[in-house]
Structure 1
Amino acid sequence: MLISMNWISEFVDLSGVDIKDLINRFTLSTAEVEDIYEKGKDIKDVVVGKIVEVNDHPNSKKLHLVKVDIGSEVVECVCGAPNVYVGAVVPFAKLGGRVGDLEIKEVPIAGVISRGMCCSEKELGISDDNSGLMIIEEDYPLGTDIKKFMQLEDIVFEVDNKSLTNRPDLWGHYGIAREIAAILKRPLKPLELADTSVYKDLPSVDVKVEDTDKVYRFSCITMDNITKKKSPVNMRIRLTYCGMRPINLLADLTNYLMMEIGQPMHAYDNRKVKEIRVKTFNEPVEFLTLDGVLRKIDTETLMICNAKEPIGIAGIMGGELSSIADDTTSLLLESANFDATSVRKSAMRLGLRTDASSRYEKTLDPEMTVTAIERFMKLLMDIDPGVKVTSSLTDNYVKHYDKITIDFDKAYIDKYTGIDISSDMMEETLRNLGFEVNRQGDNFSVVVPSWRATKDVTIKADIVEEITRIYGYDNFEIRSTKSLLTPVRHSVERDNEYRIKQLLSTKYDMNEVHSYIWYETKLNKELGIVTEPNIRIINSVTAENDTIRATMIPTLLGFVYKNVDTYPEMGMYEIGRVADGLKEDGLCNERKRLGIVLASKKMSEKDVFFKLKEAIEQVMIDIKNITPVFVENNEINKYNYVHPVNSAGILLKEQEIGYISVLNPKIRNNIDKKLNVVFAEIDIDDMEKVSAVPLKFKEVSKYPGVTVDLSLLVDKSMRYETLAGYINEYPCEYLSKYYLIDIFEDEKLLPGKKSMTVRFEFVSMERTLEGNEIQSMVDGLLASLKDKNIELR
């Protein structure tokens, strides 16, 4: 947003102030300034001149030879403007003068010497009108430097709009002036306003607000006998310098007021608009906006209408059919306040973001609507004294913001700033910023002004910011903070998550991924993945991705699909959130899950499965010191991507915490037929419910141990956990540990049986075991197992 210091000086006395230093202080205290522009310094020796003679150029049909009286002399020059005529009073650049980058010299133009230049508004940089000469309508002595009545010289600075997002009061010059007045500790001049109360006996405008959810306030008034069509030159200069294109008096005034106090307004031709209805339509309609585009308006977009048809999109843009025309002499002036969210959503749906909508999106102060009308009337009546007001002020105030009162004391401010700011300075600062201050010694009770109460200042911490930023952050003494240091309590859950990530990333070479919390519906459909109905998002950015995920696996399989052409070996994991339906209180049953997927074109499906199984076991041993148990679980077969046979539930101390599965071949073929994919999903919340087993430390023997591998024939239906239970029943002093290393199944070789190869480690703390001792223990173990119908293969 561009800010004119000439405009600011109307409201704050800037005499004796270094403007560039002031702008730097504004950056430190209020909002970031991106750039500073010095306007008008490239205009020199341009004076008021009167054309006293016009002749055709002997060598050109488009050019004219003109004589211009500049008071001290009559100067001859060549002019190509189409609107040159005898008696026209124009800006004239004398020899030695400058207009922008052009230095004025005697130059031959089509064979005739020209000793100056008649100027257009564009050449002077005060508008984009280059259609002809600028005609000076006011009466000034010939030879008067135009800078004496045209505010060409100005310093304009550009504020970063992002730094004003939470400050709707700063989207106009008057709000900026209030900040500058507080910085300088100088008074802020009040706005000059017309008094609308004198017209209270006139008929009111027929206005009805039908959608009270989207309209906070709607004010309007009508005026007639408007004779002036063009804005004063200094108004056009300010609009141009601030990035607005001058159009006509009434349109310029609405833009001028929007730039001055931040309140958008709209002027309708009162011949075409007699009454106002503010509403939404029950079905989509087409509407021709001011930019000449026919737009389709949906049922959620708030519209300004007359009795029969729409005339404007509320808060965004007016319609072409009701706009101000060259012959307009009467107007209906609208000044309203709309719901910020509604305006933003409508602007996004229409793809139409305007200066007005960008301000309404910031949650404007409803108290400004009448002020804007009274300011508009004052400016218009000063420009066109014959204007007549033809109605009373109509003001529908639908929604009032609550009055915000904040209580605090000096000690509170000192605690958070670490410096001693006097109570008098606090009071002065807050009053300068528009706060109502009630003070008893060092105790304060302040009322937040309406222009800061829509969403900005709500709590005591905001008051700390207001005081310190005006005091000046650069004035703070740099020193160490004195505060009590207390140890941070570690979250066991957070530490466990970090250990899981570290283990999977370092030992198993997996990559951590991050994803959205919703299903990618289109991708799931492409892969053949069916997801069950779950919580849906209202007004999702992407309409098809509106379902919150209940499981993480489809997301991870999507990552596999997107990377399969690049990486033949993949391992990835994510600790993220899912929503498993709703709880009894109606809130989402939010769960934290660990999802893991391994994929390989080189390893067999079995090898990939057991690699993931090993990773899960290692995670649980590392986190809980518990070896998980893998059991049959038919519940997981509800997912169509789970393998109907090669899948298992994961138990931790009889607590089910998740599952592991090979990818269903139907889904795998949609990804890549040669890719073997295995995945697992573990509920972190359920896992944390299981208490960790305390670690037990045992002295390491200094004597060598002996390892024995036994392939044991067991029933095909027996699980390893059952076999381990039988082994535990055998009392053996020197059996240090044992673990499964292989399972072999072949119905032809081992009908009804399978072979489990278990590795046994024997060791003594006192001596080296002899071979016959080892054999005796192995024989005893086999004899014990034989009673359970388990034999050595």
Structure 2
Amino acid sequence: MKLPLSWLKDYVDIGDVTPQELSDKLLSIGFEVEEIIAPRNDISGVVVGRVMNIVHHDNSDKLWVCNIDIGEKYVQIVTGAQNVKLGNYVPVATVGAVLPDGKKISEAKLRGVDSFGMLCGGSELGVDDDIIEGASVDGILILPDDSVIGDDILHTLGLDDTVLDVSITANRPDCQAIVNIAREISILLDKKFVMPKLTYKCRCICDMPPVTIENKELCSRYIGRAICNVKIEKSPKWMRDRLRMCGIRPINNLVDITNYVLLEFGQPLHAFDKKFIQDKVIVRKGRDGERITALDGKKYDVNNILVIADTCKPLAIAGIMGGEYTSIFPDTQDVFLEAARFERSNVRRTSRKIGLRSDSSARYEKGVDWQSVELGSNRALALIDQLKCGNICSNIVYDSTEQPVEKQIVTTTDQICSLLGIEIDKKIIISILKKQGFQVRTAANTLICTVPLVREDIDGYPDLAEDIMRFYGYENIVSTNSENTHQTSGGRNVHDDNIETVKSVMRALGADEILNYSFISPDEADKLLLDGNDAMRRCIPIKNPLSRDISVMRTQLISSMLNSIARNCARKNDVMRFYELGKTFITNELPITDLPQERDVICVALCNDGDFYTLKAIVGELANVFGMPEYSACKCSYLHPKQSLHVSCDGVSGDFGKLHPLVCENYNLPNNVYVAQLDLTDALNRPIALAQYMPISKLQPVDRDLALVVKKDVAVGDMLNDVKSVSPYIAQVKLFDIYDGAQIEEGYKSVAFSMRLQPTVNTFSDAEIKNIMNSVIDNAATKFGAKLR
């Protein structure tokens, strides 16, 4: 919530407290200031002056020589503007002044006459008609006649105010109002709080449409007032400035007053053109087929949605937005002013259902209390009376449930102090509560606290204790050892420990971690070329998605990774080594009948940062954490069929390789992207086995080469794994050649291995070596149809 300090000072004197000090103090009572928006500082040396004399330049028909009173002195300025008149108040950039475009004003001589400064228009000051009327005129900005000579132009234009952007927590909806924030600050600074003016004069009596609430569980209070013979015009500058600083565009006096009260008291109001209301006002649910054109110009179906209606039609969507045809027009004469309390969860559901949010709905969703309805209505009428916008009618139309009973909490100072862990004097406790509006009575050792209706967040003595502590000061809490407690040892479980190990390995391999939503678009399955019966197509839909792009639960991490790479490439960040470790959600059938499987999956991607073998090395290092990886042929639709592999080891399974060219096109990616996706679920849920080491053998190893001829469709990786399993004495097997040229039968290939045989007890004899080699050849012949080359 935006809080201009000039507005705050209407209710509490903050003295010489700086914005940063005030920000720190607000944080100490639970309100974080997200940003301190400083005044404009791109203008200096520009002041308000008054034209005391103006004559034609002797040497020019288009120039004027002005004598300007700027407070401390008179200055002579030559100008070519034709709209300057005697007595005008104008912005004067004195010698040495700096303008928003960086221009520095210096002394000049124009056609032989000295000029000590410059008169400024709106464009030179960087302002428009939203800030001050006349700023867009092609000429000098003529200031209002109540301007103060010598005043800094930033102050005159209302650009010298500091604004605090205060974050309001969900449990304090009452502090959506500037007056309630001011009340908190008055307690914090021990200053007097001044309530805004709520009094007004009724000047007429008129016919008023009666009010009926049909659904009182959704609208507990409704007040209607009338203003006759209204004058629709611009709001005064002070009101427009405050609305603008809070992010609201000024429109006209009546609409601006409703927005002003929304910010000041947190009470949404709505002004209807009274002539469009037929017979009476009814708060009811919309009927089948009813539609309304809202102020945003769009039509909404309001069937079964709470609306404000007359006997013929809906007038507004309750708590969210008014209808276009009942709004305030330049020719509006009589106004019906609504103030109501709508049930927060219903406003939230309606806003989501129709996809429409407003400043009013944002307030109602957090909660509007019973009292603010009447306070907001009275404050709006007081402002209408003050600004002479029209004649306030004495009639009031009203409907509501019974006023809520104020809560009473019975507690003791001992109970509060025990919860806080410190001793606070009873008088201080009572004083703090009374300053916040609580009524406190004492009986023996008990405190009987009556909670004001505005504090709907207070339910029991722990809430009272929190409110006391906020103003007593958290810095007064002293660390002590609690009785009957003992220390406990902390630590991560196996799953979390293993996750940290994986992340540590990926960091060591130079990869940056990314995080994506657990929701994806249902179109991702087609972009990844997934088969029609692939389990990754069974995406669980979300009931209330924010958009189609995040409307189903993810079954894989690949698509989110590729979208992240595409965004980076579009911003010329085209060298990437990313990984993401997260959950996927796989279901056996749709619609779901049981909870989905949640799998721990890691996705790794390279873009312009290596090739297939770089990714293979990364995958190998990752798999080595859990066991010895084995590689086999891969049939993954989104990977290149000739540059991809399947990897598996103890609890790890997945595919990796170069991205398929069609997938690259679908994601607008370059053709050198390499990705891997590994399921780590089983591996992460058990302790990582300690590495087993063996002493280096004292016996000499024996190296042998072996060339076998097999059919071209035989996977070399399968042959490698099989050769290792033939004998425990085969310590290492490496592929060093694949050949399918001359001397090799058509449809076949020659695969050459280098093997290292390691004896463990005695040096190998020639016969033992021959037996091992024969076993390898015989096994390959049986399993792969291999022949010795």
Q: Normalising to structure 1: TM-score of the pair?
A: 0.64
Evaluate the alpha carbon distance shift between residue 686 and residue 37 of structure 1 in structure 2; reply closer, same or farther with a 3 A threshold.
Answer: closer
CA distance in 2, matches of 1:645, 1:777: 39
Deviations 1:257-312 (A, max 9, x none): 434422122233444324224455756856374xxx74434558865333334444
Evaluate the alpha carbon distance shift between residue 774 and residue 467 of structure 1 in structure 2; reply closer, same or farther with a 3 A threshold.
Answer: farther
**Segment of structure 1 superposing worse, 312-321 or 683-692:** 312-321
CA distance in 2, matches of 1:718, 1:133: 86
Evaluate the alpha carbon distance shift between residue 102 and residue 424 of structure 1 in structure 2; reply closer, same or farther with a 3 A threshold.
Answer: farther
CA distance in 2, matches of 1:170, 1:470: 16
Q: Normalising to structure 2: TM-score of the pair?
A: 0.64
Letter in 2 for 1:581: T
CA distance in 2, matches of 1:22, 1:386: 40
Deviations 1:362-387 (A, max 9, x none): 43324422343355567778999995
CA distance in 1, matches of 2:251, 2:747: 95
Does residue 1:757 correspond to 2:753, yes or no? yes
After TM superposition, list the pairs within 5 Å mapping 1:68-107 onto structure 2: none
CA contact (8 A) 1:629 1:650 kept: yes
Structure 2 unaligned spans of 5+: 41-45, 57-67, 91-121, 123-128, 136-141, 147-155, 201-206
Q: 1:780 aligns with which of 751, 768, 771?
A: 771
Evaluate the alpha carbon distance shift between residue 505 and residue 705 of structure 1 in structure 2; reply closer, same or farther with a 3 A threshold.
Answer: farther
Letter in 2 for 1:534: C
Look up the SS of the partner of 1:781 in the other structure.
helix
Does residue 1:574 correspond to 2:580, yes or no? yes
After TM superposition, list the pairs within 5 Å mapping 1:343-492 onto structure 2: 356=360, 359-360=363-364, 362-374=366-378, 388-395=393-400, 421-435=424-438, 449-453=452-456, 466-472=467-473, 488-492=490-494
Task: Quote the residue 2:679 is aligned against.
Answer: 683
CA distance in 2, matches of 1:675, 1:208: 64
Q: 1:261 aligns with which of 265, 269, 276?
A: 265
CA contact (8 A) 1:6 1:154 kept: no
Task: Quote the residue 1:497 is aligned against.
Answer: 499
Deviation at 1:354, TM superposition (A): 6.2
CA contact (8 A) 2:226 2:334 kept: yes
Does residue 1:243 correspond to 2:247, yes or no? no
CA contact (8 A) 1:287 1:319 kept: yes
Deviations 1:29-57 (A, max 9, x none): 3564836889xxx99999xxxxxxxxxx9
Q: 1:18 aligns with which of 15, 19, 22?
A: 15
Evaluate the alpha carbon distance shift between residue 613 and residue 465 of structure 1 in structure 2; reply closer, same or farther with a 3 A threshold.
Answer: same
Evaluate the alpha carbon distance shift between residue 547 and residue 178 of structure 1 in structure 2; reply closer, same or farther with a 3 A threshold.
Answer: same
Q: 2:601 aligns with which of 573, 588, 593?
A: 593
Look up the SS of the partner of 1:242 in the other structure.
helix
Deviations 1:754-781 (A, max 9, x none): 746252242568x9x5xxx453431232
**Segment of structure 1 superposing worse, 377-386 or 268-277:** 377-386
Deviation at 1:489, TM superposition (A): 1.0
CA distance in 1, matches of 2:221, 2:492: 55
Deviation at 1:393, TM superposition (A): 1.9
Deviation at 1:334, TM superposition (A): 0.9
RMSD over aligned CA atoms reads 6.5
Does residue 1:305 correspond to 2:302, yes or no? no
Task: Quote the residue 2:537 is aligned against.
Answer: 532
Task: Quote the residue 2:96 is aligned against.
Answer: none
Deviation at 1:516, TM superposition (A): 3.6
Letter in 1 for 2:771: G
Task: Quote the residue 1:737 is aligned against.
Answer: 731
Deviation at 1:335, TM superposition (A): 0.5
Task: Quote the residue 2:203 is aligned against.
Answer: none
CA distance in 1, matches of 2:730, 2:405: 75
CA contact (8 A) 1:652 1:687 kept: no
Q: 1:175 aligns with which of 164, 173, 180?
A: 180
Evaluate the alpha carbon distance shift between residue 171 and residue 763 of structure 1 in structure 2; reply closer, same or farther with a 3 A threshold.
Answer: same
CA contact (8 A) 1:4 1:241 kept: no
Task: Quote the residue 2:210 is aligned against.
Answer: 205
CA distance in 1, matches of 2:736, 2:410: 72
Letter in 1 for 2:768: M
Deviation at 1:580, TM superposition (A): 1.1
Evaluate the alpha carbon distance shift between residue 158 and residue 714 of structure 1 in structure 2; reply closer, same or farther with a 3 A threshold.
Answer: same
Evaluate the alpha carbon distance shift between residue 743 and residue 617 of structure 1 in structure 2; reply closer, same or farther with a 3 A threshold.
Answer: farther
CA distance in 1, matches of 2:607, 2:130: 67
Look up the SS of the partner of 2:587 in the other structure.
strand
Evaluate the alpha carbon distance shift between residue 113 and residue 324 of structure 1 in structure 2; reply closer, same or farther with a 3 A threshold.
Answer: closer
Does residue 1:619 correspond to 2:648, yes or no? no
CA contact (8 A) 1:284 1:296 kept: no
Deviation at 1:697, TM superposition (A): 2.9
Task: Quote the residue 1:700 is aligned against.
Answer: 696
Structure 1 unaligned spans of 5+: 47-56, 60-94, 137-151, 196-201
CA contact (8 A) 2:495 2:684 kept: yes
Evaluate the alpha carbon distance shift between residue 260 and residue 647 of structure 1 in structure 2; reply closer, same or farther with a 3 A threshold.
Answer: closer
Letter in 2 for 1:276: V
Residues matched between the structures, number: 686
CA distance in 1, matches of 2:568, 2:392: 71
CA distance in 1, matches of 2:166, 2:645: 52
Look up the SS of the partner of 1:578 in the other structure.
strand
Deviations 1:492-523 (A, max 9, x none): 3334334334445545x655444443345667
CA distance in 2, matches of 1:459, 1:745: 82
CA contact (8 A) 2:213 2:400 kept: no
Deviation at 1:579, TM superposition (A): 1.6
CA contact (8 A) 1:739 1:760 kept: yes
Letter in 2 for 1:179: E
Deviation at 1:543, TM superposition (A): 2.6
CA distance in 2, matches of 1:298, 1:521: 27
Task: Quote the residue 1:337 is aligned against.
Answer: 341
CA distance in 1, matches of 2:158, 2:749: 96
Evaluate the alpha carbon distance shift between residue 663 and residue 597 of structure 1 in structure 2; reply closer, same or farther with a 3 A threshold.
Answer: same
Task: Quote the residue 1:63 is aligned against.
Answer: none
Evaluate the alpha carbon distance shift between residue 113 and residue 782 of structure 1 in structure 2; reply closer, same or farther with a 3 A threshold.
Answer: closer
Look up the SS of the partner of 2:552 in the other structure.
coil
Deviation at 1:339, TM superposition (A): 5.7
Evaluate the alpha carbon distance shift between residue 460 and residue 755 of structure 1 in structure 2; reply closer, same or farther with a 3 A threshold.
Answer: farther
Evaluate the alpha carbon distance shift between residue 533 and residue 207 of structure 1 in structure 2; reply closer, same or farther with a 3 A threshold.
Answer: farther
Deviation at 1:718, TM superposition (A): 9.3
Evaluate the alpha carbon distance shift between residue 462 and residue 548 of structure 1 in structure 2; reply closer, same or farther with a 3 A threshold.
Answer: same
Percent of pairs identical after alignment?
A: 21
Deviation at 1:709, TM superposition (A): 4.0
Letter in 1 for 2:428: M
Evaluate the alpha carbon distance shift between residue 678 and residue 259 of structure 1 in structure 2; reply closer, same or farther with a 3 A threshold.
Answer: closer
CA distance in 2, matches of 1:191, 1:602: 68
CA distance in 2, matches of 1:43, 1:676: 62
Evaluate the alpha carbon distance shift between residue 395 and residue 499 of structure 1 in structure 2; reply closer, same or farther with a 3 A threshold.
Answer: same
Evaluate the alpha carbon distance shift between residue 539 and residue 172 of structure 1 in structure 2; reply closer, same or farther with a 3 A threshold.
Answer: same
CA contact (8 A) 2:631 2:645 kept: no
Task: Quote the residue 1:275 is aligned against.
Answer: 280
Task: Quote the residue 1:50 is aligned against.
Answer: none
